[in-house]
Amino acid sequence: MDARERAALIRLVIVAAAWALGEAIEWQLGATALGPLFPAILAAAAYVATRDLGWPASDTTYYRGRPIDRGRWRR
């Protein structure tokens, strides 16, 4: 699993946990008449808050579409 897949999976878990937390809070307060509104708001907030989990910055330099192996040129 590469870094992109791991970041996407972590983001999915955070959003699902936010939805579950919204459901639990709604159930504890007895405000079930709102339906999925409160959990959806929490899940959307978690999605926006985790947008920085995106692709990690890479220090790989490319030349003509191929990555340059910097270790190869160091002696």
The whole-angstrom separation of Cα 44 and Cα 14 is 11
Q: What is the pTM of this model?
A: 0.66
C-alpha 29, offset from chain centre = 29
The whole-angstrom separation of Cα 39 and Cα 50 is 16
pLDDT value for 1: 76
pLDDT value for 6: 87
Q: Which amino acid is at 72?
A: R
Please report, for the chain, the start and end positions of each structural domain, with discontinuous segments joined by +.
3-55
pLDDT value for 43: 95
pLDDT value for 65: 65
Report which secondary-structure segment, H or E, holds 46: helix 37-49
All residue ranges of the chain with pLDDT < 50 are: none
